[in-house]
């Protein structure tokens, strides 16, 4: 069985039926699977998805304090910029273009660590990276961990129900997981430790990274703007952590055919370029599916790509050693032929 067919933990309801068609579970089945996979008492190997959502829950009090005590025009503006632009762009830079696709390379470990911790730590790299490789291999097909055709809840709870790695990988398959993760700097388990914990990342590394990251950023925000700013931005991070789980449903047109001529050139799946995610986070999704290993996804003049701006600036500063830019290929293969066809 190909590696990407079995690397993720199969949900109870399965990926496809006996005829090879996508299984579209009911909301009740999805919710039941969600809580089953969060049960660390029954199986400690569920610790990573539990930990991921625990961090989201820990951000809720900050959001409540922000709304109750610090809600004014400047904190709302700060929350908007931090959640929509800073957190969104960082997710594209770190989790998407570097950790998953290796679209650029850092000069050294310092700059990797610097970029990794540029914002409040929320999403575990392992949950994002491995499943995203599967997503690209099976985009909008059975086995895609966030297949929009199965509905909103299927995508929204995918980080628990569909994205964790399988708990019964052979040592050979686990070593392939390690190769996909080793460039991220995340400390991984040995195979024996993986069999105990069911994850690549070591629990001690994940917990200490989280504690140190949150402590550092709360102190920094407090020094800049007191508890008001700190609670505001931590609350904003929580808002983003929930909102980002809706992206792939929207980015794949809610499972419908909404691609537009001259805008969405990749017709192998249902991905679309959206103005808002593109501008605030550099997430021009259809472009990305055309050239997933490109450090730039905003290929057209109006397609602002803040993630690419960061990578380019870091390259000029010497922090990024190399990158891949597929804009020229896009122009030659898609934009220019399209324009000629219309003349």
Residue the block writes with tokens 């990024």: 320
Residue 341: both structure tokens together: 């066809």
* 302 burial via Cβ count (<10 Å: 0-12, 13-18, 19+): exposed
pLDDT at 343: 81
CA 91 – CA 306 distance, rounded (Å): 11
Neighbours of 342 (CB within 10 A): 7
Alpha helices in the chain (DSSP H): 3-6, 27-37, 47-69, 73-80, 88-91, 109-116, 125-137, 152-156, 158-161, 171-181, 191-197, 203-243, 247-251, 275-281, 285-290, 306-317, 327-330, 336-341
User: What is the reported pLDDT for 1?
Assistant: 66
pLDDT tens track of the chain, all 343 residues?
Answer: 699 999 999 999 999 999 999 999 999 999 999 999 999 999 999 999 999 999 999 999 999 999 999 999 999 999 999 999 999 999 999 999 999 999 999 999 999 999 999 999 999 999 999 999 999 999 999 999 999 999 999 999 999 999 999 999 999 999 999 999 999 999 999 999 999 999 999 999 999 999 999 999 999 999 999 999 999 999 999 999 999 999 999 999 999 999 999 999 999 999 999 999 999 999 999 999 999 999 999 999 999 999 999 999 999 999 999 999 999 999 999 999 999 998 8
End-to-end C-alpha distance for the chain, whole angstroms = 48
**Main-chain dihedrals φ then ψ at residue 104, nearest 5 degrees:** -150, 165
Residue burial 170-189, b: 16+ Cβ < 10 Å; e: rest: eeebbeebeebbeebebebb
Q: Are the C-beta atoms of 270 and 257 separated by less than 8 Å? A: yes
Predicted TM-score of the model (pTM): 0.95
How remote is the C-alpha of 263 from its chain's centroid? 23
Provide the sign of the torsion angle of the four alpha carbons 296, 301, 305, 310, taken in this order: positive
The 8 Å CB, 24+ separation contacts for 65-70 are: 65/231, 65/235, 66/231, 66/232, 66/235, 66/236, 67/235, 69/228, 69/231, 70/227, 70/228, 70/231, 70/232
Alpha-carbon separation of residue 162 from 60, 105, 233, 310 (angstroms):
24, 29, 29, 31
């Amino acid at each position: 069985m190909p590696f990407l067919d079995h690397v993720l933990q199969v949900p109870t309801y399965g990926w496809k039926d006996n005829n090879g068609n996508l299984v579209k579970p009911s909301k009740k089945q999805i919710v039941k699977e969600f809580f089953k996979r969060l049960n660390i008492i029954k199986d400690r190997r569920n610790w990573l998805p539990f930990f991921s959502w625990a961090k989201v829950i820990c951000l809720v009090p900050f959001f409540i304090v922000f709304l109750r005590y610090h809600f004014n025009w400047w904190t709302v503006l700060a929350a908007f910029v931090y959640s929509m632009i800073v957190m969104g762009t960082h997710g594209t830079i770190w989790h998407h273009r570097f950790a998953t696709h290796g679209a650029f390379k850092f000069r050294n470990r310092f700059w990797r660590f610097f970029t990794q911790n540029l914002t409040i730590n929320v999403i575990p790299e392992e949950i994002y990276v491995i499943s995203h490789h599967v997503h690209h291999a099976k985009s909008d097909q059975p086995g895609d961990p966030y297949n929009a055709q199965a509905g909103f809840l299927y995508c929204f709870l995918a980080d628990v129900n569909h994205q964790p790695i399988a708990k019964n990988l052979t040592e050979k398959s686990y070593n392939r997981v390690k190769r996909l993760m080793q460039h991220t700097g995340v400390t991984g388990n040995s195979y024996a430790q993986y069999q105990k914990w069911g994850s690549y990342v070591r629990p001690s590394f994940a917990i200490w990274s989280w504690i140190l990251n949150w402590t550092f950023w709360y102190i920094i925000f407090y020094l800049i703007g007191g508890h008001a700013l700190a609670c505001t931005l931590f609350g904003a991070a929580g808002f983003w952590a929930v909102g980002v789980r809706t992206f792939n449903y929207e980015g794949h047109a809610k499972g419908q055919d909404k691609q537009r001529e001259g805008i969405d050139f990749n017709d192998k799946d249902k991905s679309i370029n959206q103005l808002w995610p593109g501008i605030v986070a550099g997430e021009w999704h259809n472009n990305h599916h055309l050239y997933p290993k490109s450090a730039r996804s905003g290929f057209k003049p109006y397609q602002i790509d803040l993630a690419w701006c960061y990578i380019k600036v870091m390259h000029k500063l010497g922090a990024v050693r190399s990158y891949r830019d597929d804009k020229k290929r896009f122009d030659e293969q898609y934009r220019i032929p399209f324009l000629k066809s219309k003349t």
